[in-house]
């Protein structure tokens, strides 16, 4: 792929990188291949080959498994011949009943609502195309599907269930329910459907050739912003946009367009400061309150890690420590570093900072691990006078830290990393 120059007469269409904003010629991609930006190495496009039919089949199966996962028990405890079981919605109901409605809403959205939108939204888009029909409101459903992929956390839930089962095994006999296995299959199918879903091929079948930048578009600079061109962060289209209701919108998917995210650094610092403040009570206050015949016990996140370590489950202890303590702290530091260097208009190490941004986006969701563990334990350990577990105040603070750091990463505009980078420093 070649960077655009003033005397470039290449007939290939123009595209702009969604991470560094560099204008470049679109190259041909073989089936299964990947097109990357020649400056920041961000993925511009993956060609899925024959992924259209596979994505539809995977999504259909995911819809069925989603129904099974929410209709049957996930896991249960056998105590004195009685079995106490819980479903996902049952865990949400217990948290809501105990006054922990922020956690209940967070778990409902990330483990029930978003996976449903991801599975059913993909079927909504691909089934009509398979039948040679146009999907109804394809633009709105596509944008909703993008949100669902960011906030659906089935894979984190599965790891949380594994940690919860290890902890529950020290209390009573654990009985696995059919929903546990269907959730595992649902996780794999959602990943497979996402990997097989070729968004560009879908839009080609919905609207034909994209209304993007033709090869002969006059250019006055190397970046899209310098030429008044916006990159849609939902569908990836490079366009000057269309005016709708006093806003500039993508002509393909209808998302709002901006040369740069509005007030990106201000919003990033606001979310990040709030997360840093809440990180302290999230780790110092009790995350769980346990009451039993032997007395009451308050557990912090760190004491839960110590419990797993001393009980012999040291691999899980390491995973929980990394996901619940190290990752949130490192995310706060990393996003703070990116925002500070953007404020200072730093021009060095742009490639390295771009990599840090991608890592932050990748690992952000795994901090939800401890929240799911708490939800399962609270839902199952409800034996009245014998033993009960309730979520502590740190659980809400920790959930807020996870959400706020994700918002901070989403608010940060990675193109700010490159805005003041001279061409000679791009490869450093």
Asked if residue 293 and residue 163 are part of one domain, the reply reads no
Asked if residue 136 and residue 266 are part of one domain, the reply reads no
Could you give the dihedral angle defined by the CA atoms of residues 213, 218, 220 and 226, in that order, rounded to the nearest 10 degrees? -20
Asked if residue 274 and residue 159 are part of one domain, the reply reads no
Asked if residue 409 and residue 398 are part of one domain, the reply reads yes
pLDDT of residue 173: 83
Q: Tens of pLDDT along 71-130?
A: 999 988 887 767 788 899 999 999 999 889 999 999 999 999 999 999 999 999 999 999
In this structure, is residue 237 part of a structural domain?
no
Alpha helices by DSSP H, listed for 111-242, are: 114-130, 138-151, 154-168, 178-196, 199-207
Query: How far, in Å, CA of 335 to CA of 404, rounded?
Result: 11
In this structure, is residue 239 part of a structural domain?
no
Q: Tens of pLDDT along 402-416?
A: 999 999 999 999 999
Which residues of the chain fall below pLDDT 70? 1-12, 49-51, 81, 209-220, 292-296, 382-387, 423-428
In this structure, is residue 238 part of a structural domain?
no
pLDDT of residue 8: 44
Asked if residue 306 and residue 393 are part of one domain, the reply reads yes
Provide the number of structural domains found in the chain: 3
Starting at the edge strand that comes first in sequence, how are the strands of the sheet with 75-79 ordered? 82-86, 75-79, 173-176
> Under a CB-based contact definition with an 8 Å cutoff, are residues 30 and 66 in contact?
no
In this structure, is residue 182 part of a structural domain?
yes
Structural domain of 396: 262-428
Asked if residue 146 and residue 217 are part of one domain, the reply reads no
pLDDT of residue 9: 45
pTM reported for the whole predicted model: 0.87
Query: How far, in Å, CA of 333 to CA of 275, rounded?
Result: 11
Strand partners, 230: 239
In this structure, is residue 160 part of a structural domain?
yes
In this structure, is residue 114 part of a structural domain?
yes
Asked if residue 286 and residue 215 are part of one domain, the reply reads no
Asked if residue 124 and residue 202 are part of one domain, the reply reads yes
In this structure, is residue 247 part of a structural domain?
no
Asked if residue 225 and residue 146 are part of one domain, the reply reads no
Asked if residue 157 and residue 30 are part of one domain, the reply reads no
pLDDT of residue 307: 81
Asked if residue 32 and residue 181 are part of one domain, the reply reads no
Query: How far, in Å, CA of 215 to CA of 38, rounded?
Result: 18
Asked if residue 223 and residue 101 are part of one domain, the reply reads no
pLDDT of residue 424: 54
In this structure, is residue 242 part of a structural domain?
no
Task: For residue 375, give the CATH number of its domain.
Answer: 1.20.140
pLDDT of residue 214: 59
């Amino acid at each position: 792929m070649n960077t655009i120059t003033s005397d470039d007469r290449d007939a290939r269409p123009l595209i702009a990188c969604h991470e560094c904003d560099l204008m470049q010629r679109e190259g041909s991609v073989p089936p299964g291949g990947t097109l990357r930006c020649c400056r920041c190495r961000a993925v511009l496009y993956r060609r899925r080959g024959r992924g259209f039919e596979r994505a539809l089949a995977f999504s259909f199966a995911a819809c069925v498994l989603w129904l099974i996962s929410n209709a049957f028990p996930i896991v249960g405890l056998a105590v004195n011949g009685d079995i106490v079981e819980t479903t996902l919605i049952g865990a949400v109901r217990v948290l809501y009943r105990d006054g922990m409605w922020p956690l209940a809403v967070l778990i409902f959205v990330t483990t029930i609502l978003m996976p449903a939108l991801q599975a059913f939204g993909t079927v909504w888009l691909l089934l009509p195309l398979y039948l040679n029909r146009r999907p109804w409101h394809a633009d709105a459903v596509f944008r909703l599907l993008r949100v669902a992929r960011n906030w659906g956390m089935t894979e984190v839930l599965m790891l949380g269930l594994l940690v919860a089962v290890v902890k529950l095994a020290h209390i009573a006999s654990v009985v696995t329910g059919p929903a546990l296995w269907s959730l595992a299959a649902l996780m794999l199918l959602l990943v497979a459907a996402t990997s097989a879903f070729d968004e560009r091929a879908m839009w080609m079948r919905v609207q034909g050739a994209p209304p993007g930048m033709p090869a002969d578009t006059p250019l006055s600079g190397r970046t899209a912003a310098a030429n008044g061109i916006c990159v849609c962060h939902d569908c990836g289209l490079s366009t000057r946009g269309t005016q709708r209701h006093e806003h500039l919108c993508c002509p393909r998917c209808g998302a709002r367009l901006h040369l740069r995210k509005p007030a990106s650094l201000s919003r990033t610092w606001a979310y990040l400061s709030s997360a840093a403040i809440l990180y302290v009570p999230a780790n110092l206050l009790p995350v769980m309150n346990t009451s039993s015949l032997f007395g009451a016990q308050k557990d912090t996140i760190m004491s839960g890690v110590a419990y797993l370590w001393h009980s012999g489950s040291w691999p899980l202890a390491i995973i929980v420590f990394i996901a619940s303590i190290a990752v949130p702290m490192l995310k706060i530091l990393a996003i703070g570093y990116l925002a500070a260097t953007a404020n200072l208009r730093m021009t060095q190490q742009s490639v390295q900072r771009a990599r840090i941004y991608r890592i932050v986006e990748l690992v952000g969701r795994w901090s939800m691990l401890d929240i799911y563990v708490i939800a399962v334990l609270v839902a199952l350990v409800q034996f009245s006078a014998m033993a009960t577990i309730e979520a502590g105040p740190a659980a809400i603070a920790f959930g807020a830290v996870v959400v706020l750091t994700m918002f901070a990463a989403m608010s940060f505009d990675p193109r700010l990393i490159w805005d003041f980078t001279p061409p000679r420093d791009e490869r450093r």
